[in-house]
């Protein structure tokens, strides 16, 4: 009981200090920023704030950054204490408040900002929208209401796909498989004891694939590009907009059947489904699996983990159903938002523009080994990026850049398609607990509910 009382008291103090700071600092020159501290760390943000303050000495910046930012920020937002700018990606880490703010249209319209703001470090007449990676701002991640208006800004961009040890492939004379048939055929190579991996005093047979077992959402880095290759981006748009028949599309079914085959056919690393992300990633680094779904943050996230000698990161696009089909590379992109009701929206816009300068691009590479979501950022920051990340960013040379995000669902329907597609069903599909038909039927039924709910809320 004493411990509970202490926790409640501490929370009350946090809330009180939040409210007091809100009352005490309505200063037009004070900028409040809230940041999720994820795999990229905080050093970049400290540098960004320091450089912004040096360029704008009249400005005070309050930076709130934490791996648990959603826990801290949710009660503040509940009492109306809004940051001026938030670098918090919509999803599980936000405790639901970011999703609710999108649903309730509570973010500042950034369309004119991107369309009519001179891009930093570029010739006169080049607007900010012109330097963002083509197609990003049109995606529902950043233009969530289907009206062509931008409400969410892209922060970074990094390829996601099939991470593999390119040095191993060089040594063995292998090429990453381009089709699903080539993917499954690689398994016969792994029967050869010359291709086993030394783990301690044992020689172990490699598997083709592993994923972050209890966090199956990582499989989106394989599923969505594979569907785009099989059915075109129209198939992706139909899925992310809950269209009738989207999951029954024969191209989508064919991809799902290959997912099922991976698990039931013995192509998956033994024990995968019970592992967390660091465990499966550690096994892959040691050579127990040829491929794992992941992105460029993998390099820094597992920087201290042991690995197979000579391990060198690279990313391959998802396989295609038929030779010659276009290959796609899904991109990760963390998001920046400015609450419409924030006190200092103009100052927040000034800070957001500062994030897109060439020096900020280099700083993100220097401190976080990442790439900002502007065209050509890999080359702008080449000298600052690690060879592994620079190599992984070359995945964009092998596949077409793509994003996948769900259209917002009006409040009142507690369905998360990300949870339904991955957490609730993808592992049972791959272990044979449910059939491909059942998987498709379930998702068609869920999207029918969503369409009905959207229609009822128009």
**Residue partners of 323: CB distance under 8 A and separation at least 6:** 178, 179
Looking at residue 22, its pLDDT comes to 38
Q: Is residue 384 part of a domain?
A: no
pLDDT digits (tens, 9 = 90+) for 81-116: 899 999 988 765 566 788 889 888 999 999 999 999
pLDDT digits (tens, 9 = 90+) for 440-457: 999 999 999 999 999 999
Which H or E run contains 204? Answer: strand 202-204
Q: Reply yes or no on whether the pLDDT at 19 is more than 90.
A: no
109 and 90 part of one domain: yes
Confidence band of 314 (pLDDT split at 50, 70, 90): very high
Range of the domain at 367: 23-157+333-375
73 and 209 part of one domain: no
pLDDT: which is higher, 373 or 297: 373
CATH number at residue 364: 3.40.190.10
Q: Is residue 395 part of a domain?
A: no
User: Angle at the Cα of 355 (from 351 to 357), degrees rounded to 5?
Assistant: 115
* Percent of the chain clearing pLDDT 70 (strictly above): 93
Which H or E run contains 336? Answer: strand 335-336
Dihedral sign for Cα atoms in the order 164, 167, 173, 175 = positive
pLDDT digits (tens, 9 = 90+) for 169-195: 999 999 999 999 999 999 999 999 999
The average pLDDT across 305-319 equals: 96
Lowest model confidence (mean pLDDT) among 381-385, 401-405, 416-420: 401-405
180 and 70 part of one domain: no
Q: Is residue 10 part of a domain?
A: no
pLDDT: which is higher, 36 or 90: 36
Q: With CA atoms as reference, report the closest residue to 351 among 155, 147, 199, 105.
A: 155
How crowded is the C-beta side of 274, counted as CA atoms within 13 Å?
Answer: 2
Q: Reply yes or no on whether the pLDDT at 11 is more than 70.
A: no
225 and 306 part of one domain: yes
Confidence band of 295 (pLDDT split at 50, 70, 90): very high
Alpha-carbon gap, residue 293 to 159, rounded angstroms: 11
Q: Is residue 228 part of a domain?
A: yes
130 and 85 part of one domain: yes
pLDDT digits (tens, 9 = 90+) for 67-82: 888 888 888 888 888 9
Q: What are phi and psi of 71, to 5 degrees?
A: -60, -45
Looking at residue 40, its pLDDT comes to 84
Q: Is residue 7 part of a domain?
A: no
Q: Is residue 13 part of a domain?
A: no
- pTM, full prediction: 0.79
Confidence band of 421 (pLDDT split at 50, 70, 90): very high
Q: Are strands 335-336 and 207-210 parallel, antiparallel or unpaired?
A: unpaired
221 and 310 part of one domain: yes
Confidence band of 321 (pLDDT split at 50, 70, 90): very high
179 and 327 part of one domain: yes
> How high is the mean pLDDT of the chain?
91
Looking at residue 93, its pLDDT comes to 58
115 and 240 part of one domain: no
- Number of separate domains in the chain: 2
pLDDT: which is higher, 28 or 126: 126
205 and 281 part of one domain: yes
pLDDT digits (tens, 9 = 90+) for 395-415: 988 898 898 888 888 889 999
Q: Is residue 256 part of a domain?
A: yes
73 and 98 part of one domain: yes
Looking at residue 76, its pLDDT comes to 86
Alpha-carbon gap, residue 171 to 238, rounded angstroms: 42
256 and 122 part of one domain: no
Q: Is residue 355 part of a domain?
A: yes
147 and 264 part of one domain: no
């Amino acid at each position: 009981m004493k411990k509970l009382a202490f926790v409640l008291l501490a929370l009350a103090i946090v809330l009180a200090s939040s409210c007091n700071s809100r009352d005490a600092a309505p200063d037009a020159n004070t900028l409040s920023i809230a940041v999720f501290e994820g795999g990229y760390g905080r050093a970049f943000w400290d540098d960004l704030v320091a450089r912004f303050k040096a360029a704008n000495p009249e400005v005070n910046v309050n930076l709130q950054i934490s791996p648990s930012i959603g826990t801290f920020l949710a009660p503040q937002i509940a009492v109306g204490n809004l940051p001026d700018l938030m670098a918090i990606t919509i999803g599980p880490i936000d405790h639901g408040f970011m999703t609710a703010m999108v649903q309730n249209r509570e973010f500042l319209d950034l369309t004119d900002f991107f369309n009519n703001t001179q891009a930093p470090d570029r010739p006169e007449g080049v607007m900010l929208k012109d330097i963002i990676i083509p197609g990003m701002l049109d995606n529902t991640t950043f233009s969530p209401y289907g009206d062509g208006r931008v409400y969410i800004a892209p922060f970074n961009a990094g390829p996601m796909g099939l991470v593999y040890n390119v040095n191993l492939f060089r040594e063995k004379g292998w090429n990453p498989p381009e089709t699903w048939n080539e993917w499954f055929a690689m398994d016969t190579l792994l029967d050869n004891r010359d291709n086993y991996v030394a783990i301690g005093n044992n020689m172990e047979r490699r598997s083709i694939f592993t994923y972050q077992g209890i966090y199956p959402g990582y499989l989106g880095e394989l599923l969505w590009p594979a569907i785009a290759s099989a059915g075109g981006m129209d198939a992706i748009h139909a899925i992310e907009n809950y269209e009738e028949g989207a999951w029954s599309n024969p191209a989508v079914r064919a991809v799902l059947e290959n997912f099922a085959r991976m698990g039931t056919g013995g192509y998956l690393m033994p024990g995968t489904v019970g592992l967390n992300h660091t465990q499966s990633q550690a096994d892959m680094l040691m050579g127990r699996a040829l491929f794992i779904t992941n992105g460029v943050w993998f390099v820094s996230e597992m920087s201290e983990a042991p690995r197979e000698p000579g391990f060198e990161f690279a990313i391959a696009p998802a396989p295609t159903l038929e030779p010659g089909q276009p290959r796609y590379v899904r991109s990760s992109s963390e998001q920046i938002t400015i609450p419409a009701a924030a006190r200092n929206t103009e100052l927040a816009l000034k800070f957001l523009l500062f994030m897109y300068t060439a020096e900020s691009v280099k700083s993100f590479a220097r401190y976080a080994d990442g790439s900002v979501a502007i065209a050509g950022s890999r080359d702008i920051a080449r000298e600052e990026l690690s060879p592994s990340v620079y190599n992984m960013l070359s995945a964009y040379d092998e596949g077409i850049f793509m994003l996948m995000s769900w259209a917002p669902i009006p409040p009142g329907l507690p369905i998360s398609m990300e949870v339904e597609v991955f957490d609730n069903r993808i592992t049972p599909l791959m272990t044979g607990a449910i059939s491909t038909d059942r998987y498709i039927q379930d998702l068609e039924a869920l999207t029918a509910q969503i369409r009905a709910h959207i229609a009822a809320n128009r």
